[in-house]
Amino acid sequence: MISKEAILHILKTVKYPGYSRDIVSFGLVKEIQTETNAVGVLIELTSPSPEIGEQIADAARLALRDGIPGLVDAHVQVKVPTGAPTPPGPVAKNRLPHIKRVIAVASGKGGVGKSTCSVNLACALRHIGARVGLLDGDIYGPSIPLMMGVQHRPEITEEEHLIPPFAHGVRLMSMGFLIPDDQPVIWRGPMIQKTMQQFIHQVDWGELDYLLVDLPPGTGDAQLSLCQIVPLDGGVIVTTPQQASIGVVRKGMGMFEKVNVPLLGLIENMSYFTAPDGSRVEIFGHGGGAMEAQRKGIPFLGEIPILPAVREGGDRGMPAVVSDPTGPAGRPFIQVAQTLRERLG
């Protein structure tokens, strides 16, 4: 008969979806029963997600069968609570008291439309009734002011906190509000970290349901600083369908796993183009995002088509979700926002 200690050792190979930590270190394994050629395990989650429960149960059964020669039965029961989801680890430290959820929008490389997705996702969450803030984390190349149609400098409160500009129902903050358009930001890492800290803690965000952070591409100072400053409720990954993008996006997902930030899902941008005759043209290929999400075991949040209205909306400061929320350009972002809200609770 195998010992409980040996079973725990095997279960340490089962990672919590979206984390680099295992279910044992999170304290989710509550009971172990052993018999000859049979094992029973009880796992209790803190997040009411049946999908995560099924992933953990399947992974635990597979680990037990692979790790115990001659095992006949691996019974794994996962209890899933009801209520608002909470990540399995301690996340209360440094949590912003007036902001319920902080979500990072990231990509592994530039040019995939991450900022376009961030802007439209923020407006989509606002469209379905949430209180939303959008922080432009790209210190070197801020684009949120242009895409949201705001150029004026923020006002300052008596407590010397910045008052975020307001556009399309969304509160905004960006380095682009503080420097001239043609002035480059030539800073080293410590200055980036200090600025991110000020944008999080010295901005009067008010009461928010979601604060979206549009990160720069890659895995540099801005991303690491954000993870150190405030506990993230999750990260959303944006990619395009082709393998050149997917390969680099894996590095972005790996970064979130290294710092124990759960992956909320993946968006495939520039997924397809609808020709004037109604035919579907897949310029960059198709399905790479969905396959990568399946490979990683995270939700696939949706496909965003290539439409001139999306680009035009960003250029004139009127996101597609705002100008035409029920049309072909705005509707996919609304669907992604609804899926994300359901996942977060």
167 or 283, higher pLDDT:
167
Give tens-digit pLDDT for 107-127: 877 788 899 999 999 999 999
Residue 34 is assigned to a structural domain of this protein:
yes
Residue 31 lies in domain: 4-79
Chain-centroid distance of CA 36 in Å reads: 44
Mean pLDDT (the chain, rounded): 84
Do 195 and 241 sit in the same domain of this protein? Answer: yes
Question: What are the backbone dihedrals phi and psi of residue 209, each rounded to the nearest 5 degrees, phi first?
Answer: -85, -35
Residue 46 is assigned to a structural domain of this protein:
yes
Q: For residues 99 and 232, is the Cβ–Cβ distance under 8 A?
A: no
Strand positions, DSSP E, 45-163: 73-79, 99-106, 132-136, 155-156, 162-163
Residue 150 — pLDDT band, cuts 50, 70, 90? very high
- Please state which of the ranges 1-15, 79-93, 157-171, 197-211 shows the lowest mean pLDDT: 79-93
For the question of whether the overall pTM of this predicted structure is more than 0.75, the answer is no
Do 228 and 331 sit in the same domain of this protein? Answer: yes
pLDDT at 50 > cutoff 70: yes
Residue 85 is assigned to a structural domain of this protein:
no
Residue 20 — pLDDT band, cuts 50, 70, 90? low
Percentage of the chain lying above the pLDDT 70 cut: 89
Do 33 and 166 sit in the same domain of this protein? Answer: no
The predicted structure's pLDDT at residue 84: 46
DSSP 8-class letter at 260: T
**What CA–CA distance (Å, rounded) separates 21 from 257?**
8
Q: How far apart are the first and last CA of the chain?
A: 42
Q: Assign residue 249 the CATH number of its domain.
A: 3.40.50.300
pLDDT at 159 > cutoff 50: yes
Q: Assign residue 60 the CATH number of its domain.
A: 3.30.300.130
Do 154 and 275 sit in the same domain of this protein? Answer: yes
The predicted structure's pLDDT at residue 131: 96
The predicted structure's pLDDT at residue 19: 67
Of 79, 113, 130, the last residue of a domain is: 79
What is the DSSP track for 302-330? EE----HHHHHHHHTT--HHHH-TTSTTT
Do 104 and 185 sit in the same domain of this protein? Answer: yes
The predicted structure's pLDDT at residue 42: 93
Give tens-digit pLDDT for 196-249: 888 888 899 999 999 999 988 776 666 776 776 777 888 999 998 887 777 777
122 or 17, higher pLDDT:
122
Residue 91 is assigned to a structural domain of this protein:
no
Do 117 and 199 sit in the same domain of this protein? Answer: yes
Residue 92 — pLDDT band, cuts 50, 70, 90? very low
The predicted structure's pLDDT at residue 90: 42
**What CA–CA distance (Å, rounded) separates 149 from 162?**
19
**What CA–CA distance (Å, rounded) separates 340 from 319?**
19
Do 71 and 189 sit in the same domain of this protein? Answer: no
Residue 90 is assigned to a structural domain of this protein:
no
Residue 10 is assigned to a structural domain of this protein:
yes
The predicted structure's pLDDT at residue 298: 85
**What CA–CA distance (Å, rounded) separates 281 from 186?**
41
Q: Which residues pair with 339 in a beta bridge?
A: none
Give tens-digit pLDDT for 242-296: 877 777 778 778 878 777 788 899 999 998 887 878 778 888 877 788 888 888 8
99 or 96, higher pLDDT:
99
Do 271 and 174 sit in the same domain of this protein? Answer: yes
Residue 17 is assigned to a structural domain of this protein:
yes
DSSP 8-class letter at 300: E
Number of compact structural domains in the chain: 2
Amino acid of residue 66: D
Do 225 and 123 sit in the same domain of this protein? Answer: yes
Do 169 and 24 sit in the same domain of this protein? Answer: no
DSSP 8-class letter at 270: S
Q: For residues 125 and 102, is the Cβ–Cβ distance under 8 A?
A: no
Do 256 and 293 sit in the same domain of this protein? Answer: yes
Q: For residues 241 and 289, is the Cβ–Cβ distance under 8 A?
A: yes
Do 127 and 12 sit in the same domain of this protein? Answer: no
Residue with tokens 């991110």: 196
295 or 318, higher pLDDT:
318
Residue 303 is assigned to a structural domain of this protein:
yes
